[in-house]
Amino acid sequence: MNQKKKKVVIVGGGITGLTSAFYLNRAINQYQLPIELTLIEANHRLGGKIQTEYKDGFVIEKGPDSFLERKSNAKQLVQDVGLEHDLVRNTAGKTHIVVKDQMHAMPLGAVMGIPTKFGPFLKTGLFSVQGKVRAACDYILPRSRVEGDQSIGSFIRRRLGDEVAENLVEPLLSGIYIGDIDQLSLLSTFPQFYKAEQEHGSLIRGLKKMSKTASKTTLTSKNQGVFLTLKNGLQSLVDAIETQLKDVTIQKGVSVKDLKKGKDGHYELNLNDDESLQADGVILALPHPMMAELMLDKNYLKDYKDMPATTVATVVTAFNEDAINLADGVGFVVSRHSDYTITACTWTHKKWPHTAPKGMALLRCYVGRIGEETVVDLSDTEIEEMVLEDLKKTLNITAKPKFSIVTRWMNAFPQYNVGHYQRMNEMHEALCKDMPGVYVTGSSCGGLGLPDCITQGKVAAEKIRAYFE
């Protein structure tokens, strides 16, 4: 009986691989599927980019800190592992934008940086009068005739002008993708912008209509935060999944060196401890720089291997709350035309009050952006000094922090440049023909936010099941 079981190996124990393991394991138990599951993770811990540190009563996220509620698969996973009572919603509040040396509040009604309310847009000091008039042209400009993909930058510049693109959209969006808006793919990142333009003839009009429909169909009130996290940190989701993978063989501290098609339709995975594994099906849930090394000789992986990825560092600093005097709001982002090392700063204790003990403040800053990544090579002390210098300039903080934690994220943000989805589709098709039963998934493929990774992990589990049926 045991011999008839199909062997499935999941490579990579980040949230994508863990989600695949969780749902596949659940299906195996529920439907008594003859599948044996192994998870291989190079590190000695699971979770990949999810890393929570607990220090002096603080809950510190070094990597992702939350997920969008609207993309429902993340919340669903939390519910499926039984952690729904630990869900915490963010405190909604103003985000500020630093342009040159000035801090401006983001105009009310801006949807991912696209202004949709007339009054706040007219009053903001973010744009010149000419910039505002140029943005209003969106109402009369014709729809784009671009066939296929284009960059977010060229799309926004054409509809709303350079000032809105550079002073509002770029700092917000590049904070998510850590990329260059003039290279990033519109269809792979914000397809809803294209849809709004095509359906309503104007981006502003389209987003206004879409956000009205969205607020009618969701239960969240207007001023409610749209992000969720877990009160004990996102690591608690990783730990809960691991506890529930009782029937799965988990090998930590072992990495897969290469993957080859063997005889009789089996696959062979060579490990760095000189062992090897045989598998009937494989899910590769690795970031692309690591994945490509496993299958070097595959031509159809060239575009995937060549995909750029950005390096940043996060710097968490803790202060006594009364030693710093923050404006109303939850943080700021910095435009490219500003002489700062920090690219974004979240006032974590305000956005997520559960993360800091009473009377303490926790700020989380990003440094490094595409084309300006060398700062990450500096020592922790040098990076901390530059961050403190910027905090002095922007927020007038002169106090010494209680502690700082610098975390480097090397090549951690895959760049979904123009044509990304098409290249991914071609890669998946070629892989399916060449190595049926092998699935490449995760943050380098179909979305890098946690909900997208979770969706991809779930889909990969379903594909493996379907492959054996």
Ligand X SMILES: Cc1cc2nc3c(=O)[nH]c(=O)nc-3n(C[C@H](O)[C@H](O)[C@H](O)COP(=O)(O)OP(=O)(O)OC[C@H]3O[C@@H](n4cnc5c(N)ncnc54)[C@H](O)[C@@H]3O)c2cc1C
Cα 334 from chain centroid (whole Å): 19
- C-beta of 153 vs 447, nearer to ligand X: 447
The DSSP bridge partners found for residue 240 are none
Q: How far from 437 is each of 158, 179, 430, 460, 462, CA to CA, in Å?
A: 43, 33, 12, 10, 12
**What is the DSSP secondary-structure string of 302-370?**
HHHHT--EEEEEEEEEEEEGGG--PPSSSEEEE-TTS--SEEEEEEHHHHSGGGS-TTEEEEEEEE-BT
Tell me the C-alpha distance between 150 and 168, whole Å.
Answer: 19
Quote the least distance from Cβ 449 to ligand X, whole Å: 3
Quote the least distance from Cβ 66 to ligand X, whole Å: 5
CB-based contacts of 29, cutoff 8 Å, min separation 6 = 247
The torsion angle over the Cα atoms of residues 240, 242, 246 and 249, rounded to 10 degrees, is 170
In 3D space, the residue among 42, 41, 38, 29 whose CA is nearest the CA of residue 9 turns out to be: 38
- C-beta of 116 vs 229, nearer to ligand X: 229
Residues of this chain that bind ligand X (CB under 6 A): 11-17, 40-43, 48-50, 63-67, 255-256, 285-287, 290, 314, 409, 412, 442-443, 448-450, 453
Quote the least distance from Cβ 108 to ligand X, whole Å: 23
The DSSP bridge partners found for residue 267 are 261, 279
- C-beta of 244 vs 270, nearer to ligand X: 270
Buried b (16+ CB within 10 A) or exposed e, 392-407: ebbbebebebbebbbb
Quote the least distance from Cβ 293 to ligand X, whole Å: 7
Tokens linked to 108: 């009310």
Tell me the C-alpha distance between 106 and 429, whole Å.
Answer: 43
- C-beta of 116 vs 314, nearer to ligand X: 314
Angle at 122 between CA 133 and CA 201, to 5 degrees: 55
Quote the least distance from Cβ 11 to ligand X, whole Å: 5
Count other C-beta atoms under 10 Å from residue 227's C-beta.
Answer: 17
- C-beta of 15 vs 342, nearer to ligand X: 15
Residues 451, 457, 463, 468: is their CA dihedral positive or negative?
negative
Tell me the C-alpha distance between 462 and 466, whole Å.
Answer: 6
Quote the least distance from Cβ 437 to ligand X, whole Å: 18
CB-based contacts of 174, cutoff 8 Å, min separation 6 = 180, 181, 336, 343, 369, 370
Tell me the C-alpha distance between 326 and 406, whole Å.
Answer: 22
Quote the least distance from Cβ 100 to ligand X, whole Å: 26
Quote the least distance from Cβ 13 to ligand X, whole Å: 5
- C-beta of 41 vs 180, nearer to ligand X: 41
- C-beta of 230 vs 412, nearer to ligand X: 412
- C-beta of 141 vs 226, nearer to ligand X: 226
- C-beta of 338 vs 346, nearer to ligand X: 346
Quote the least distance from Cβ 204 to ligand X, whole Å: 27
- C-beta of 24 vs 160, nearer to ligand X: 24
Quote the least distance from Cβ 167 to ligand X, whole Å: 23
In 3D space, the residue among 396, 24, 463, 87 whose CA is nearest the CA of residue 241 turns out to be: 24
- C-beta of 71 vs 205, nearer to ligand X: 71
Quote the least distance from Cβ 72 to ligand X, whole Å: 13
User: At how many degrees (to 10) do helices 73-80 and 15-31 cross?
Assistant: 50
